[in-house]
Amino acid sequence: MTAVPRESDAAPPVPAAYAAFLPVLEQLSVPLQRLLRGQLAQFERLIGSVDDRDRRDTGEFEGLGSLTTRGDIAHIVQSELLLRTEAPLEFLRRLAEGETLYHEKDYADPGAKPVYRLTVSVGPALLGHGRVLALAAIFFMARVAAIRGGTLHWCFVPRADGAVWFEEISVNTIKRFLRAASYREATTEDVAEAHQMWERLTAVDRTGAGARPIDWVVGVRGSRGVSARAVDTAHHSLAIALRPPIAGETRVAELTVRRKGQNGKRALIDFPSDTVCVSALNTPFAPLKPARAAAAIGPGTTGPADHGWEPRYFIAVHAGAKLVRMRDGILVLLAEKRFDFPSPFFVPLPSDIQLAGIRLKDRKLSILVQADVTGKDVLIHAEFDLSGRSDPAQARQVRRKESVAAHLFKGQHRFALPLLFPGHGVKFYSTHRREFGFEFNDHNKEAAFRVLHNRPLILCATGTHRVMRSVEGDDAYLNVLRDNGGQLADYRESDAPISPDRLRGLIYSDSHRGLAYSVTPNIWTIPLHQRGWASAVGEHGSLQFDTAPYEVPLMAKTDGDGVVATIWSDARAGGDGHVRTLHLSNGQRTSYETVLRTGADAANIVDIRITHDGIWAMTVDDAGDPQALLCYYRDKRGGKHLCRRFELDALIDKAMSIDLGEVIRG
């Protein structure tokens, strides 16, 4: 048995092999971080015993590469052979303990990719100290999978509704694991059912194709003799046994590595003081920073119902144009070619100027603002030519009209980008979703402010389309209009009627012609695409699907009697930051595919959009201000996503300024 020295009062650093997990570890509370770091350092003694001895490399042999503790005697390191003559007893000891080093073979094709399937028993014996030790074991097995070029898929059992398999370690999955509990320990039948579920899931999304599963079980060891616990009968397992407490000393656990059905190497794992352990379990996660906690309120959360119709933070007008709302102005990005914004523009917006609407079309920027000019409430519309043929500040058309309009924009989000739409002049909408007109023509500078009565309410706008709600008799319809007013789609409102003050989110996908909305927390409704059409799926022909509080739908459409939805797991609300495509049938999730992993930026992303030129995301700083615009796109081979980062401060520094102060002063 190997006894691991006790840790000091200071928390040890995270072993270098766990650097990839730092973004997750840093979101844990200080006591839990200290506990895990100490245990992960102690787990390193077991790496040779847990490493996959049965790995089968195939393909063309290319040569010898890195070092390994498992290999052929013909490939033993020369320094080990020197020990055979200079210190034969040490040579024999290293050979017996599995510490001898060999050169590892490299192959052109490593063959089947290993998938470590880890099943954790969450019975009553795993409460308290055992639960934290099992959490450390999950991180440890992920580290083992990584060094073998494989992946870790893990779950916990017993579970009444069947196992849920995870393919990553995140704040959300840790939450679910710490909350999971059962009145009994997992048996071999529970593990077999979990493996069957994994087979079904991977068969649907084809992630199991060409994979070689390596199964491990983590749990508390049963009593000596006959035991029905899976951890005592599994082919491979990490068996935990907590030693009885001793007065004045910290707790110690014995960890036994079971391989090929036989108990192997054992190690003693020390815990810090009970005060640290209890604090880690009572408060496992670090509190959100105030700015992020406020920013976490969104359409997928349980925050305020009416989140406004205006897009926030940024809009993608088309592949070559982006508008970004900053705290003190608007950044206009025009691309000469993909990912190249050589000549950005910045429109400062002082605190006494209220943005009423903005529109970018054919390099013509149109802005409507409300301001107090010499004690009078004035609406001012200005147009700027951004084609580069002249100074945009000199190539403008300005129209103004005294009007009482300040109340129309009360409560507007500080990073909102309200849009203008073409009409007799321009149309704009108040924060209460009502339509107004700022009318003018090209023949004179006079303008008129119109209140447009009995017009449909606007529900959302994206820069390429808007969704309106119209009422015809006893029926209500959702009209999807292009930016120019042309109709894209027309949906009959389902049996979940929309009240704008209760609307929690609405999405529309141009490419899939799919619309979904939410008026109840975490429940989304997809109305069918035809007026007057009804079927057995609902009184007005609709399907519904559920989301977790941290999940934000980006796209949803019907697929026969089922639903296909693309979901962003918001890390600020407890998710892992990934984007997934879900397949649902009868309200149950049948399969999923991870489309995008946002990595280290996950905790700072405040919004994600799927556009025609990639997946764009906005990150914010600790104060909640926009920091960087990210574009995730696939490489030329169509493989994994790459990320292009645009620092907003750097773009503003080189941007040409368009001063609205001179426009307002006239």
Q: In this structure, what is the dihedral angle of CA atoms 481, 486, 490, 496, given to the nearest 10 degrees? A: 20
**Domain enclosing residue 97, as ranges:** 57-108
Residue 68 lies in a domain: yes
Do 129 and 232 lie in a common domain? yes
pLDDT of residue 637: 67
Pick the more confident residue, 541 or 615: 615
Residue 221 lies in a domain: yes
Res. 537: pLDDT tops 70: no
277 touches 129 (CB < 8 A): yes
Do 101 and 201 lie in a common domain? no
Res. 396: pLDDT tops 90: no
635 touches 642 (CB < 8 A): yes
pLDDT digit string, tens, across residues 283-325 = 888 865 444 433 444 444 444 445 689 999 999 887 688 999 9
The Cβ-side half-sphere exposure at 373, using a 13 Å CA radius, reads 19
Backbone angles phi and psi of 109, in degrees to 5: -125, 110
Q: Which two tokens stand for residue 6?
A: 């006790």
pLDDT of residue 62: 58
Do 92 and 206 lie in a common domain? no
Do 139 and 183 lie in a common domain? yes
With cut-offs at 50, 70 and 90, classify the pLDDT of residue 63. low
pLDDT of residue 56: 46
Do 11 and 75 lie in a common domain? no
pLDDT of residue 119: 95
Do 71 and 161 lie in a common domain? no
pLDDT of residue 149: 76
Res. 3: pLDDT tops 50: no
Boundary (domain end) residue, out of 48, 83, 108: 108
- Per-residue pLDDT averaged across 62-78, rounded? 72
- Per-residue pLDDT averaged across 431-438, rounded? 91
pLDDT of residue 305: 47
The b/e string for 502-519 (b: 16+ C-beta within 10 A; e otherwise) is ebbbbbbebeeebbbbbb
pLDDT of residue 226: 52
Res. 533: pLDDT tops 70: no
- Sign of the dihedral defined by the CA atoms of residues 141, 147, 148, 149, in that order: positive
Res. 7: pLDDT tops 50: no
pLDDT of residue 9: 43
With cut-offs at 50, 70 and 90, classify the pLDDT of residue 209. low
Do 49 and 61 lie in a common domain? no
Alpha-carbon distance 535 to 341, whole Å? 49
| Residue with token string 């043929």 | 389
- Determine if residue 308 is left, alpha or beta; phi over 0 gives left, psi from -120 to 50 gives alpha, anything else beta: left
481 touches 466 (CB < 8 A): yes
pLDDT, averaged across the chain: 82
Residue 123 lies in a domain: yes
Give the β-pairing of 2-3 and 262-270: parallel
Alpha-carbon distance 541 to 516, whole Å? 13
Backbone angles phi and psi of 429, in degrees to 5: -130, 145
Alpha-carbon distance 346 to 323, whole Å? 10
Res. 641: pLDDT tops 90: no
pLDDT digit string, tens, across residues 500-517 = 778 889 999 877 778 899
Sequential DSSP letters for 156-213: EE--TT----BSS--HHHHHHHHH---SS--BHHHHHHHHHHHHHHHHHH-TTTTEEE
Boundary (domain end) residue, out of 242, 259, 287: 287
Do 37 and 176 lie in a common domain? yes
Do 219 and 73 lie in a common domain? no
With cut-offs at 50, 70 and 90, classify the pLDDT of residue 207. low
pLDDT of residue 335: 85
- Per-residue pLDDT averaged across 439-459, rounded? 84
| Residue with token string 């519309």 | 381
The packing angle between helices 30-43 and 129-147, to 10°, is: 60
101 touches 87 (CB < 8 A): no
Question: Under 8 Å CB-to-CB from 530, ≥6 apart: which residues?
Answer: 492, 541
Do 174 and 247 lie in a common domain? yes
Backbone angles phi and psi of 205, in degrees to 5: -95, 5
- Sign of the dihedral defined by the CA atoms of residues 386, 421, 319, 579, in that order: positive
pLDDT digit string, tens, across residues 348-385 = 998 889 999 999 988 889 999 998 888 888 999 988 88
Alpha-carbon distance 103 to 60, whole Å? 17
pLDDT of residue 388: 72
Residue 399 lies in a domain: no
Residue 275 lies in a domain: yes
Alpha-carbon distance 168 to 154, whole Å? 8
305 touches 316 (CB < 8 A): no
Q: How many domains does the chain have?
A: 2
Residue 519 lies in a domain: no
pLDDT of residue 2: 39
Res. 474: pLDDT tops 70: yes
Q: Which two tokens stand for residue 373?
A: 């000019």
Residue 98 lies in a domain: yes
Res. 106: pLDDT tops 70: no
Instruction: State which amino acid sits at residue 308.
Output: G
pLDDT of residue 300: 40
* Sheet bearing 465-472, strands edge to edge: 457-461, 465-472, 475-482, 487-492
**pTM reported for the whole predicted model:** 0.58
Do 118 and 151 lie in a common domain? yes
pLDDT digit string, tens, across residues 238-292 = 999 999 888 888 899 999 998 888 888 888 999 988 888 888 888 888 865 444 4
Residue 166 lies in a domain: yes
Boundary (domain end) residue, out of 287, 311, 330: 287
Q: Which two tokens stand for residue 22?
A: 């730092």
Do 119 and 156 lie in a common domain? yes
pLDDT digit string, tens, across residues 586-608 = 878 888 888 888 888 888 999 99
Pick the more confident residue, 439 or 511: 439
pLDDT digit string, tens, across residues 40-62 = 888 888 887 776 544 445 555 65
597 touches 609 (CB < 8 A): no
Q: Which two tokens stand for residue 168?
A: 């990553």
